Structure 1
Amino acid sequence: MNTCNHSFRLRALLSIVLLLVTVITAILITPSATSSTRGSSRVCVVHLDMAIDEGATTFIKRTFSDCRGYDLVVLAISSNGGYLSSAQKIVNTISQAEVPCVSWIPPGSQAYSAATIIAFSCRALYMGPGSAIGAVKPYPYDEKTAEAVRSLLTSLMVRMCGDREEIRQVASDMVLNARALDDAEASRMGIAKSVSSVDEVVADSLGVSAVEKASLYPNAWEKLLSVLSNPIIYSIMLVAGALLIVVEVLTTGFQGYGVAGAILVILALYSMSLIPPDIVALSILISGAALLAIELFTPGFGAFGVSGVALMAIGIALTVYSVPPEVVTPIIYVVGVGLGSFAALVLFIGFKGVQVVRMKRRGIAEEVVGSVGIAKTDVSDTQPGVVYVADEDWTAYSVRGVIPQGSKVRVVRMEGLKLYVEMLEEQKQ
């Protein structure tokens, strides 16, 4: 019966692994839609429809990596802004990209605050009917930050639109007075070109209409990271993680609170940009392996095992996700599959070995508990003695008083390799 239960648990764990790998792979795959219109030019439309934070930074890095080899990237922006630090990272990514990039604010959309800085970091700006741009006044406001933002925005706008006094004044007003421009005003000033669709953007940028287009959107991980990077969220995670670690330290025995707390602290530090993604993936992998080991050696209801498998699957997925595609050569695939197969084999052998040990321990306990033997030395409840039970010598403690040498004893319970015994009632009389 026990063997069947362990086999069932093993099959359940393997099924969960496959399910998690499938789900996480589906999450990490870039959602894209290629239009049926094909031509000699390739265009990638990147939909930045989110707050400008670490989630957006990760999304832009991924998309520009995926868009290598394309002729043009159209950055479709619809955002109310976000963090200056994240905007600066995105600006650096765009400036270092091998593919030319233009920004487009779709009809009825807006690029405010940090999104404005990103829009002007591209080679050209296009705006649809009813769209708006500007309002870059930092919050909370201080003169030093405002001056730094004004200098950055002015340099980007001058590079895109030319060094004119009107352009410098607009940049200053956007930062100091939160000025915003609609598409008509931006077009009149020569800051943007008015277009109604992405096809017009492509035609004006490349001079061709027949192109192959791919659309890229933020995936589930990037959306989740956008939520986690909010200061309110990562502050709560940091405090909750620290409290869980304290509870684990103060609680008798392993309860798993410490692992959960460590993961929360790691995610909080990652959301604060204090640790790199590979450290997060490694920490999650180690946490998963620790939970699996605990499940193997201290059997319970499988909660630690399921959690360990889930964490290891997520850690592996994050590791694969963070590796640039160009460095994954065929030899990497071969070595990775080989090491993974070896690790799976070792895990299976270890599981079976622990299973056999558990069965032996249960068999010995069932045989010894209740058996009658002889005390070869005095046995007390504080000082161990030696008893002869089931054809073997055992270290034993008395459950009540002192048992004299030579007395008959009965085994009450077994803890590890120690026996707890009592004197037979007939000898007490």
Structure 2
Amino acid sequence: MNRDKRSLLFVLLAICGAILPMIGQAQEEATPAGPPLALISTVKGTIGPATSRQIGEAIAVAEERNADVLVLRIDTPGGLVTSTRDIVSDILASDVPVAGYVWPGGGHAASAGTYIIYATGIAAMAPGTNLGAATPVSMGGMPGSPQQPGKSSGSGDGEDGKAVPSNEEALSKKATNDAVALIRSLAETHGRNAEWAEEAVREGVSLGAKEAQGTGVIEIVARDLDDLLAQMDGREVVAGTSMKTLRTADARIEHVEPGFMTELLAVIGNPNVAFLLMMIGVYGIIFELSNPGSFGPGILGAICLLLGLYALNQLPLDYAGVALIVLGLVLMAVEAFTPTFGVAGFGGLVSFVFGAAMLIDSDNPEFQISWVTIAGTAAASAALLIFLIGYTLRAMRRPVATGAEELEGAEARVLEWANGEGYVHIHGERWRARGPAELAPQSTVRVERMDGLTLVVS
């Protein structure tokens, strides 16, 4: 009887084990999955350290939330090569599919923006936008630009009669070839038009949305985000090291806003702002050192100096410019503490102007310190130097206020006197004095000189 019960129990358990997975599977099939999640990050303005940080944070958020796609809405004139490389690396390493969308109408993805679009798994544009002009800018002009007929671009002729390229042209050629290799590699990764990409780098050509789609540069032309997500649905894209099928139809849209540090870096990352912060910091510290105990200028100066140095550290610096600025500030500080009648001060001012002009190693106008900023800081420094020199000259002409020299010629009042000696009162003090034999108390005398601790009066 017990054996029959045990057998029945085993049979029931086996039936339950077979039925429960089927029930769970049926419930999974019956319960629809949640709507897809599409995160949006808007990139506007020049590509720089703040943009690189913004996109890196957006990709991290998308991976953390297991988003179905991250859409980068782009409108940029270009930017720094180093920041562009960082962004491309982050996009290629992302496990979440990344789409690039040139938006809004009238916007563009020029220069650095073209590389970013080519790095994304899905490339899209809004009507009325354009991309291209991806030639890297270097010192001396646009590398790869055609020469005028009959004119050699070389610096001289070699033994075989051929033009020998200058060092500047050689560097430009290297930068162009490196950029071509990068954008062709990105085009091949996502199956896009590599020939046009190379032409965009070498010749600086651009394309509108429809033409870009027709030549295989982008995949989608979309009016808005909803249209873009609808057209992306079901496409296979490269995401990290694998292929993924996009599930974006009726996706829930959420925007990823830049963090506080990213917004701060976007403000102080402007070379003019960073430079002014550094100057405020330096002058605040100099004022604190010349007036110990005031605290306020020193604290404000230290904060501004650290913020300015942090921002400048994110930018491509020319270290010769940094050295000239430091030398200029040191010479101006020397003028402030040990006056040299303008020799050190104005030498430091000249060094400072040259250093500021060559501080940022980039031909991108957005990352150059403007001449207005340089002229303003130089004028402020010159005004400070003129004030210091004038103060020094006035101090030298001012009568001596302490010591024996200050007492000579001063008037004193006789307190006690007998036989050519006695005591006089001067500057609130009682002094021993000698002089004429007969002087009456309360009479006024003039100090001629000091003899030790005795005043000689007349």
TM-score, scaled relative to structure 1: 0.51
Aligned length: 238
Quote how far apart the aligned CAs of 1:146 are: 2.6
Matched, 1:102 2:99: yes
SS of equivalent residue, structure 2 residue 91: helix
Mapping 1:150-189, distance limit 5 Å? 150-162=180-192, 167-189=193-215
CA-based RMSD of the aligned residues comes to 2.5
The equivalent of 1:198 in structure 2 is 225
Quote how far apart the aligned CAs of 1:99 are: 1.0
Q: Compare relative contact order (CA 8 Å, sep 6+) and give the higher one, 1 or 2.
A: 1
CA distance in 1, matches of 2:429, 2:100: 84
CA distance in 1, matches of 2:304, 2:173: 36
Tell which structure's C-alpha radius of gyration is larger: 2
Structure 2 contact 75–102 (Cα < 8 Å) conserved: yes
The structure 1 segments of at least 4 consecutive aligned residues displaced by more than 6 Å after TM superposition are 399-402
State the Cα deviation string for residues 137-158 of structure 1 (Å, max 9, x = none): 2233433333322222221122
State the Cα deviation string for residues 270-325 of structure 1 (Å, max 9, x = none): 213469xxxxxxxxxxxxxxxxxxxxxxxxxxxxxxxxxxxxxxxxxxxxxxxxxx
Mapping 1:278-427, distance limit 5 Å? none
CA distance in 1, matches of 2:102, 2:74: 5
Mapping 1:60-209, distance limit 5 Å? 60-68=55-63, 69-106=66-103, 107-140=105-138, 141=142, 142-162=172-192, 167-192=193-218, 193-207=220-234, 208-209=248-249
Match of 1:53 among 43, 48, 56: 48
Structure 1 contact 238–265 (Cα < 8 Å) conserved: yes
Structure 2 contact 269–314 (Cα < 8 Å) conserved: no
Relative to total residues, which structure has the larger helix share, 1 or 2?
A: 1
TM-score, scaled relative to structure 2: 0.48
CA distance in 1, matches of 2:51, 2:40: 15
Unpaired segments ≥5 residues, structure 1: 1-37, 276-398, 403-429
CA distance in 1, matches of 2:107, 2:286: 47
Quote how far apart the aligned CAs of 1:236 are: 2.8
Structure 1 contact 48–217 (Cα < 8 Å) conserved: no
SS of equivalent residue, structure 1 residue 136: coil
CA distance in 2, matches of 1:51, 1:92: 18
CA distance in 2, matches of 1:274, 1:182: 33
SS of equivalent residue, structure 1 residue 67: helix
SS of equivalent residue, structure 1 residue 181: strand
CA distance in 2, matches of 1:250, 1:144: 51
SS of equivalent residue, structure 1 residue 102: strand
1:194 is aligned with what amino acid?
V
Structure 2 contact 36–249 (Cα < 8 Å) conserved: no
Percent identical: 24
Structure 2 contact 124–222 (Cα < 8 Å) conserved: yes
CA distance in 1, matches of 2:194, 2:43: 26
SS of equivalent residue, structure 1 residue 272: helix
Quote how far apart the aligned CAs of 1:42 are: 1.0
Matched, 1:210 2:250: yes
Structure 2 contact 38–68 (Cα < 8 Å) conserved: yes
CA distance in 1, matches of 2:121, 2:187: 10
